[in-house]
């Protein structure tokens, strides 16, 4: 265990969209009071707690008189709701992930160009509910389990929920292209989830133990942990405090990864804690 080797995933932690949203929330809290997010900003209790301590609270009630600033979450909201919010007296901060924003614009464009719009994704996902509002009522939501229905128009435009797996989307497009005359596809998949999972998979195959950092309520962190367990003993932790010395008894190499909603400070604390346990450095932890 002495001189424990640590391999930390380069893609651990906040994705671009989450990082941007959290930064916007903290900045807003510094500028004004009465800052709210429309629903919890991300699935990480420590970040939500920290935001709360700075005065950023989740709300579902847009008529709450205490709202001075309302932050829209990363996965976006329906166009009609956005229009409604604009009429309110509070300031709106749009923390919709720019990749989702782009998908919304493409949904609108395809619809205005007269395409039958298809969204590849989960019809109950808030991002998809948002996207539909941009492409209109005749939008069809399909996923890898759907039978492709008989389409009325021969010109079909497709966008994808940003977090869909690329391989399923490719299969879907391959089926679709057979039956349509004109197909316009905006590949709006954000591949950071796939890249993170791939990197984590590679690390898990090289180490004796994996530590996966992130909210227990975070779907993508849980997915990383489930995946690691296929290769190696794995602990899913939210904070450094949960880490126990005896996990490392038979361990010479440990991997660290984290979900898209896990902040850097938590990942760093976890790394420092493991480094201390491994005897590789003195960083202020009690011996």
In the complex, the smallest distance separating the C-beta of residue 185 from a copy of itself, rounded to whole angstroms, is 4
In the complex, the smallest distance separating the C-beta of residue 192 from a copy of itself, rounded to whole angstroms, is 15
Beta carbon nearer to a copy of itself, 185 or 254? 185
DSSP string, the chain: -TT-EEEE-TT-S--HHHHHHHHHHHHHHHH-S-EEEES-SSS-HHHHHHHHHTTEEEES-TT-TT-SEEEEPTT---HHHHHHHHTSSSEEEE---HHHHHHHHHHHHHHHTT-EEEEES-TTSHHHHHHHHHH-TT-EEE-TTSPPPPPS-SEEEEEE-TTS-HHHHHHHHHHHHHH-SEEEEE----THHHHHHHHHHHHHTT-SEEEEES-TT-HHHHHHHHHHHTTS-EEEESSGGG--GGGGTT-SEEEEEE-TT--HHHHHHHHHHHHHHTTS---S---
CA-based nearest residue to 247, from 203, 208, 221: 208
In the complex, the smallest distance separating the C-beta of residue 152 from a copy of itself, rounded to whole angstroms, is 17
Beta carbon nearer to a copy of itself, 193 or 261? 193
Catalytic pick among 83, 113, 127, 199: 127
In the complex, the smallest distance separating the C-beta of residue 230 from a copy of itself, rounded to whole angstroms, is 24
Beta carbon nearer to a copy of itself, 103 or 228? 103
Residues that bind a copy of itself (CB under 8 A): 166, 169-171, 173-175, 177-178, 180-187
Q: In degrees rounded to 5, what are phi and psi of residue 155?
A: -105, 115
In the complex, the smallest distance separating the C-beta of residue 156 from a copy of itself, rounded to whole angstroms, is 10
- 54 carries an active-site annotation: no
Kindly tell me the burial class for residue 286, based on how many C-beta atoms sit within 10 Å of its own C-beta (0-12, 13-18, 19 or more).
Answer: exposed
User: Using CA atoms, how far apart are residues 138 and 151, in angstroms rounded to an integer?
Assistant: 11
Beta carbon nearer to a copy of itself, 92 or 109? 109
Beta carbon nearer to a copy of itself, 92 or 173? 173
In the complex, the smallest distance separating the C-beta of residue 24 from a copy of itself, rounded to whole angstroms, is 25
Beta carbon nearer to a copy of itself, 30 or 181? 181
Catalytic residues: 127
């Amino acid at each position: 265990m002495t001189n424990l080797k640590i391999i930390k995933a380069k893609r651990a932690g906040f994705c671009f969209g989450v990082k941007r949203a959290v930064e916007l929330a903290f900045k807003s809290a510094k500028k004004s009071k009465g800052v709210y997010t429309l629903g919890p900003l991300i699935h990480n209790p420590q970040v939500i707690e920290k935001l709360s301590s700075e005065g950023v609270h989740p709300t579902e009630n847009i008529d709450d008189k205490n709202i001075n600033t309302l932050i829209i979450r990363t996965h976006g909201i329906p166009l009609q709701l956005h229009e409604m919010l604009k009429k309110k007296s509070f300031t709106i901060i749009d923390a919709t992930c720019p990749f989702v924003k782009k998908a919304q614009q493409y949904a609108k464009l395809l619809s205005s160009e007269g395409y039958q719009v298809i969204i590849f994704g989960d019809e109950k996902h808030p991002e998809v509910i948002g996207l539909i509002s941009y492409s209109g009522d005749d939008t069809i939501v399909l996923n890898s389990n759907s039978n492709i229905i008989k389409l009325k128009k021969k010109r079909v435009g497709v966008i994808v929920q940003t977090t869909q797996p690329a391989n399923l989307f490719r299969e879907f497009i391959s089926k679709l292209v057979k039956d349509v005359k004109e197909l316009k596809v905006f590949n709006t998949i954000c591949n950071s989830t796939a890249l993170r999972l791939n990197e984590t998979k590679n690390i898990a195959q090289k180490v004796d133990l994996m530590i996966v950092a992130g909210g227990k309520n975070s779907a993508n962190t849980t997915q990383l942990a489930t995946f690691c367990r296929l290769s190696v003993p794995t602990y899913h932790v939210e904070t450094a405090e949960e880490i126990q010395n005896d996990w490392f008894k038979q361990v010479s190499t440990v991997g660290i990864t984290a979900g898209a909603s896990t902040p850097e400070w938590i990942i760093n604390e976890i790394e420092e804690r493991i480094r201390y346990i491994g005897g590789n450095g003195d960083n202020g932890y009690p011996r």
